[in-house]
């Protein structure tokens, strides 16, 4: 819990400082006097000001954001001698640059973080797939258990992209699903032999289904795993049946087992109408084949009941190290930041018109949870997570909503077209509307957080 909280505060702190520093540096470059640089809101916990005329740097009690306060005639009297340092006196081009600098700083940070993660090297699961569920898109495409997905191609252009890990595969799947396109996959067996091509057709997919669990529902969520038992919990159904760690499962009720995921499916499917039926297991132990009667227990979650034997039914997936050189890592950072930005805009647009689920909105609880998980996995994972949130912050701040940087840029576009600024009356109206939209988005995000926490999503 402490690790999660600290990781969350570190994430917010880094992203807020970089965002506001973008505004701050460009404001100074444009000759604007910056009065205060604040990280957080509310009561001031720490302050530093070198001289009475310099910028005041403060840290406040509520760390959910920050701001840069600049000299501006709209916010108070400005001495005549300092009018040339007021924000509102600067040219339209300068004001636009100052406002845009915050989101752009977040996007630049994302590029560097993605690059750094790949320079260090990330341990990720190899795209070696488990047998897909029978009715899934993966099964319809012809994917088989033990297939190693090596490359992908969007559309019909035959431009293949090498997939270095399962993360690359999930990215390609999500992009194709959002575009309702066809994704071509090049696969081999687990040893790299027998190359063949598959086509996954997403044309019939409702974009509202594309959420955090979409890849799993499409049949690509499970990785190949040797059907060798890991930990067997004392007193559980597996231990009572005589199963031991290291047992290789050969079959369950006559069905051949060649992957740990098939063990999970067979055990879960043992419950029929709320009752678990006994299963006949054939396992190999120290060169001998044993037959054991296993009686799963019934577990109920919500309206669903399934079987469980209190044992780890498989080994950890095979891992690969994804590490790139200086230039390749930077290219990956630029590409990933651009692709994520485009995907975020597409997702927000489709949520707005009802073509994507509002369940995709996440709030501080989910961010904190993922921050804690990523920092526990190591520095490269945390850098990747930080980059992902930085992209989201940069893109969201560019939305044309009052209260956000994008709202101010929208005002400047109006000013550039008409030659006059937005009137105070309309500013007030748009401000109220923007606050209402932001509160609604925050409410939905927080509801989604709580629903995920309770297992309702």
* Lookup: tokens for 450: 């709580």
For 252, the 3-state DSSP assignment is strand
Q: Please enumerate, as own/partner, the contacts of 320-323 that have beta carbons within 8 Å and a separation of 24 or more.
A: 320/123, 320/124, 320/125, 320/126, 320/164, 320/165, 321/121, 321/122, 321/123, 322/118, 322/121, 322/122, 322/123, 322/124, 322/164, 322/165, 322/167, 323/118, 323/119, 323/120, 323/121, 323/122
The verdict on whether 20 is a catalytic residue reads yes
**CA pair distance 455, 16, nearest whole angstrom:** 30
Tell how far CA 369 is from the center of its chain.
Answer: 12
Instruction: List the one residue out of 129, 107, 36, 124 whose CA is nearest residue 76.
Output: 36
Element housing 446 (H / E): helix 424-453
288-294 and 148-154 strand pairing: unpaired
Residue in the block written with tokens 């969201």: 396
Other CB atoms within a 10 A radius of the CB of residue 46 amount to: 10
**CA pair distance 115, 169, nearest whole angstrom:** 19
Residue of 20, 124, 273, 328 marked catalytic: 20
**CA pair distance 177, 346, nearest whole angstrom:** 12
For 148, the 3-state DSSP assignment is strand
Instruction: List the one residue out of 119, 125, 140, 152 whose CA is nearest residue 222.
Output: 125
Question: Could you give the residue ranges of the DSSP H alpha helices within 74-230?
Answer: 92-120, 137-141, 166-179, 214-215
CA angle, 406 as apex, 405 and 408 as ends, to 5°?
A: 65
* Lookup: tokens for 82: 């300092």
Residue in the block written with tokens 């007021």: 86
Instruction: List the one residue out of 96, 33, 40 whose CA is nearest residue 67.
Output: 40
**CA pair distance 121, 75, nearest whole angstrom:** 49
Count of helices and strands (H, E) across the chain: 12, 16
What residues are labeled active site?
20
């Amino acid at each position: 819990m402490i690790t999660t909280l600290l990781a969350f505060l570190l994430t917010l702190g880094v992203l807020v400082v970089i965002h506001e520093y973008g505004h701050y540096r460009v404001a100074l470059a444009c000759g604007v006097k910056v009065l205060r640089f604040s990280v957080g809101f509310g009561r001031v916990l720490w302050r530093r000001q070198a001289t009475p005329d310099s910028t005041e740097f403060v840290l406040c009690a509520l760390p959910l954001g920050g701001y840069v306060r600049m000299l501006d005639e709209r916010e108070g009297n400005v001495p005549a001698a300092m009018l040339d340092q007021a924000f509102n006196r600067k040219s339209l081009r300068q004001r636009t640059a100052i406002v845009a600098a915050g989101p752009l700083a977040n996007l630049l940070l994302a590029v560097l973080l993605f690059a750094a993660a790949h320079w260090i090297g990330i341990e990720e699961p190899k795209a070696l797939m488990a047998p897909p569920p029978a009715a899934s898109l993966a099964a319809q495409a012809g994917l088989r258990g033990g297939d190693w997905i090596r490359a992908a191609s969007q559309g019909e252009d035959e431009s293949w992209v090498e997939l270095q890990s399962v993360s690359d595969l999930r990215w390609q799947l999500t992009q194709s699903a959002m575009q309702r396109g066809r994704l071509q996959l090049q696969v081999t067996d687990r040893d790299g032999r027998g190359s063949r091509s598959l086509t996954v057709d997403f044309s019939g997919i409702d974009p509202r289904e594309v959420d955090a669990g979409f890849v799993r529902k499409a049949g690509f969520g499970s990785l190949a795993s040797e059907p060798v038992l890991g930990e067997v919990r004392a007193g559980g159904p597996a231990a009572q049946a005589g199963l031991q760690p290291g047992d290789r499962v050969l079959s369950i009720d006559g069905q051949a087992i060649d992957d740990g995921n098939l063990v999970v499916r067979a055990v879960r499917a043992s419950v029929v109408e709320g009752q678990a039926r006994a299963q006949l297991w054939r396992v190999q132990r120290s060169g001998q084949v044993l037959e054991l009667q296993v009686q799963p227990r019934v577990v109920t979650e919500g309206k669903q009941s399934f079987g469980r034997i209190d044992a780890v039914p498989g080994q950890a997936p095979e891992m690969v190290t994804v590490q790139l050189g200086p230039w390749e890592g930077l290219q990956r950072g630029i590409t990933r930041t651009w692709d994520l930005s485009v995907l975020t805009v597409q997702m927000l647009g489709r949520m707005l018109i009802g073509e994507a689920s509002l369940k995709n909105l996440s709030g501080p609880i989910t961010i904190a949870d993922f921050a804690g998980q990523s920092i526990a996995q190591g520095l490269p994972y945390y850098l990747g997570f930080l980059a992902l949130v930085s992209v989201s912050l940069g893109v969201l701040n560019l939305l044309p909503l009052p209260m956000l940087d994008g709202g101010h840029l929208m005002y400047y576009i109006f000013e550039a077209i008409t030659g006059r600024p937005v009137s105070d009356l309309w500013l007030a109206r748009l401000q109220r509307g923007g606050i209402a939209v932001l509160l609604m988005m925050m409410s939905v995000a927080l509801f989604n957080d709580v629903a995920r926490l309770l297992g309702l999503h």
